[in-house]
């Protein structure tokens, strides 16, 4: 990647991270870290493991695509670095995908070409979001089988289930027909983006068609690759509930892993509905508080969980931003 753009991503991320750190109550942070003890280290190390799932899903997507002459093979270690940095930018950027995905495309393009880089990044982003919808849908059934369901809760679960099914249908349709042209046409109907999107579609129609063909090829020609990538991402969702399990063990030695899955599902759904907020500030904490109390866990425990998770996110965001400066060849 061009050093100018690399430095731009790095400086922007550091500024936003610095602003978010200033919003912390440092006394509360210190007390939380003292209380968590070595479990905080376990939580941080867990994410070094979880990012392996994300990288593996993206790695098999890239390797499933036809490699043209002159394009390099991307190493897993370099892609892991790119994965962590990309998520760091997504965490720090309002709109989520507006930060990490352009960075990934620009980093990959010199190695595998712009069309292949764009399609692999779009495919991975689709798979990442697609797995969230499956995680939320499966968690609904888990809730029904393990918790008492009142009438208001039944209505909420029905609405949420319909939302998840609609999301799954949308992405399956996108896998079959491609998504690049559809997204650009959608942007072409938004007043503030219309002037940019329509000329872009006309001048890049061939590239967009190529990207869509590569997206649909994964679903049609490589079903094993498609299923493997989705299962890796879905496994990552369930394994990430270990983070909440580790934190709750500090307060509740009898903490239940299944409850942690439900807390994570509800919180991530609530936070993603507020995707336009950097790091889902406030939304994530509110989601933890509501989901923990709804499952019979004390409000103080919910606040403690939210604090430790926020500190872990800030730490890994800082690590990811620093990795932007170590952009060695794959």
The rounded mean pLDDT for the chain is 78
Nearest CA to 21 among 318, 219, 330? Answer: 318
Residue pair 327/79 in contact (Cβ under 8 Å)? The answer is no
Which residue in 286, 236, 3 sits closest to 129, CA to CA?
236
pLDDT confidence of residue 290: 60
CA–CA dist 31, 250 (Å, integer): 13
Confidence band of 276 (pLDDT split at 50, 70, 90)? very low
Question: What span, in angstroms and rounded, lies between the C-alpha atoms of 100 and 85?
Answer: 7
d(CA 268, CA 288): 9
| Average pLDDT score over residue span 280-309 | 63
Place of tokens 């800030």: 314
pLDDT tens figures, 199-213:
776 777 777 777 777
* Cα 107 to Cα 87: distance, rounded to the nearest angstrom: 14
- Taking residue 242's Cβ as centre, other Cβ atoms within 10 Å add up to 18
Q: Which of 2-16, 106-120, 315-329 has the lowest mean pLDDT?
A: 2-16
CA angle 90, 93, 98 (to 5 degrees): 70
| Residue-wise pLDDT tens digits, 53-110 | 999 999 998 888 766 666 778 899 999 999 999 898 887 765 444 567 888 888 888 8
Locate 172 and state its tokens. Answer: 């399956």
Residue 273 predicted with pLDDT over 90: no
Question: pLDDT tens, 156-172?
Answer: 889 999 999 999 998 88
For residues 40 and 316, the answer to whether their CB atoms sit within 8 Å is: no
As a whole number, mean pLDDT of residues 250-254 equals: 77
- The answer to whether 131 and 233 have CB atoms below 8 angstroms apart is yes
DSSP 113: -
Of 313, 323, 241, nearest to 280 by C-alpha is 313
Residue 176 in this model has a pLDDT that exceeds 60: yes
Q: Does the pLDDT of residue 215 top 50, yes or no?
A: yes
In this prediction, residue 278 carries a pLDDT of 46
| pLDDT at 277 > cutoff 50 | no
Least confident of 35-49, 147-161, 202-216: 202-216
pLDDT band at 4 (very low <50, low <70, confident <90, very high): low
Q: What is the pLDDT of residues 177-189, one digit of tens each?
A: 766 677 667 666 6
For the entire predicted model, the pTM comes to 0.81
The pLDDT assigned to 294 comes to 58
**By CB neighbour count within 10 A (0-12 exposed, 13-18 middle, 19+ buried), where does 142 fall?**
middle
The dihedral through the CA atoms of 288, 294, 295, 300 has a sign that is positive
Q: Return the higher-pLDDT residue of 156 and 302.
A: 156
C-alpha dihedral, 121 to 164 to 229 to 170, nearest 10°: -50
The pLDDT-based confidence of 37 (bands split at 50, 70, 90) is confident
- Virtual torsion, Cα 13, 19, 23, 29, nearest 10 deg: 50
Average pLDDT over residues 136-144: 92
Percent of the chain with pLDDT over 90: 20
pLDDT (tens digit, 9 = 90+) per residue, 120-134?
888 888 889 899 999
Instruction: Return d(Cα 218, Cα 267) in angstroms, integer.
Output: 31
- Give me the residue spans of the domains in the chain: 3-324
């Amino acid at each position: 990647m061009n050093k100018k753009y690399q430095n731009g991503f790095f400086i922007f991320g550091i500024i936003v991270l610095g602003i978010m750190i200033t919003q912390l109550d440092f006394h509360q942070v210190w007390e939380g870290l003292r209380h968590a003890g070595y479990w905080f280290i376990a939580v941080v190390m867990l994410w070094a493991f979880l990012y392996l799932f994300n990288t593996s899903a993206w790695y098999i997507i890239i390797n499933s695509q036809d490699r043209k002459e002159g394009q390099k093979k991307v190493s897993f270690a370099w892609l892991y670095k790119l994965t962590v940095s990309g998520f760091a930018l997504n965490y720090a950027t309002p709109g989520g995908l507006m930060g990490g995905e352009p960075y990934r495309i620009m980093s990959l393009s010199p190695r595998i070409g712009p069309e292949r880089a764009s399609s692999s990044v779009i495919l991975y982003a689709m798979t990442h979001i697609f797995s969230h919808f499956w995680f939320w849908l499966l968690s609904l059934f888990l809730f029904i089988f393990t918790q008492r369901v009142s009438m208001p809760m039944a209505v909420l679960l029905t609405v949420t289930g319909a939302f998840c099914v609609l999301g799954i249908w949308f992405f399956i349709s996108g896998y079959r027909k491609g998504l690049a042209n559809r997204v650009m046409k959608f942007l072409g109907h938004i007043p503030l983006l219309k002037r940019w999107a329509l000329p872009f579609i006309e001048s890049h129609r061939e590239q967009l068609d190529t990207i869509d063909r590569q997206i649909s090829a994964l679903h049609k020609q490589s079903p094993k690759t498609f299923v493997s990538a989705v299962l890796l991402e879905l496994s990552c969702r369930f394994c990430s509930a270990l983070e909440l399990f580790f934190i709750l063990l500090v307060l509740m030695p009898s903490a239940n892993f299944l409850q942690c899955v439900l807390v994570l599902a509800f919180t991530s759904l609530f936070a993603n509905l507020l995707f336009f907020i950097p790091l889902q500030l406030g939304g994530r904490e509110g989601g933890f508080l509501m989901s923990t109390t709804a499952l019979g866990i004390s409000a103080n425990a919910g606040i403690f969980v939210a604090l430790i998770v926020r500190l872990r996110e800030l730490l890994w965001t800082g690590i990811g931003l620093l990795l932007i400066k170590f952009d060695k060849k794959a």
